[in-house]
Amino acid sequence: MQHRPAVFAALLGLTRAGSAIGDFWVQSDFCARVKGASDDHPVIYVDPATDTKTTHGTVDGRKACLKHCLTYTATQAIVAGAGARALGIRVHPAAAAAALAISFTTHYAADRRVPGKSLLETIATKTGKGGFYKLADFGINGAFHLDSAWHHGWETVAAVVATTKATTR
C-alpha cells in the first residue's frame, strides 16, 4: 500500500489538531480544574461567573475527566473525519473506532492526575523524571509537558491504527 505513509501523516496531523482544539478550546474550565480531584485531594472550584465555591472529590473528578475525554475524542473524530474527507481519504470504520478508543483510554489515564497516585506521576517517578514532573517554575510546567508528550505518542499509535485498510478516493 504505497499511500499508507501519506495517510498516516495526514491522520496524525488531523488528530493532533483535534487534540489541541479538544484540550484547550473545548474543555471547560470546570473539567480542567476538577478532573484530578479525589476525596484525599479535593478541589475547590470557584465559578468564574458567580464566584460560587464548591468542593469536589473522587466522584466529581472522575465525572469531569470522563466528560473532558468524551468531548476531546468527539472533537478529534470531527476534525479527523472532516479532514480525511476533504483530503479524499477513506478510513475504515473499525480502524477509526479503534484509534479513537486508544485516544480516549490513554487520555483518561493521563488526565486523572490525582496527586501522588496518577499514572503519569508514577511513570515519571519510576523513570527518573519525578523532579521534572513536579517542576512548576521558570515558565515551565513539567507535568504539562510530560502529559503532552504522552498524548503525542499515543496519537501516533492511533494514527497508525487508523491507517489500517485506509484507501484514497
Give the span between the Cα atoms of 47 and 100, in whole angstroms. 31
**How far is residue 76 CA from its own chain's centroid?**
10
pLDDT confidence band for 2 (50 / 70 / 90): low
Report the mean per-residue pLDDT for the chain: 94
Average pLDDT over residues 152-168: 90
pLDDT tens sequence across 69-118:
999 999 999 999 999 999 999 999 999 999 999 999 999 999 999 988 99
- Dihedral sign (CA 65, 68, 74, 77): negative
Give the span between the Cα atoms of 102 and 69, in whole angstroms. 11
Average pLDDT over residues 142-163: 92
C-alpha cell at 126: 519510576
Asked if residue 129 has pLDDT above 90, the reply is yes
Q: Name the residue among 4, 11, 13, 48 with its Cα closest to residue 28.
A: 48
State the pLDDT at residue 138.
81
Q: What is the dihedral of CA 115, 119, 121, 126, to 10 degrees?
A: 140
CA angle centred on 113, ends 46 and 31, rounded to 5°: 40
pLDDT tens sequence across 42-75:
999 999 999 999 999 999 999 999 999 999 999 9
State the pLDDT at residue 166.
86
Average pLDDT over residues 135-152: 89
Query: Buried (b) or exposed (e) across 93-124, using 16+ Cβ within 10 A?
Result: eebbeebbebbbebbbebbbbbeeebbbbeeb
Average pLDDT over residues 35-40: 96
- Beta-carbon count within 10 A of 131 CB: 10
**142, 133 in Cβ contact below 8 A?**
yes
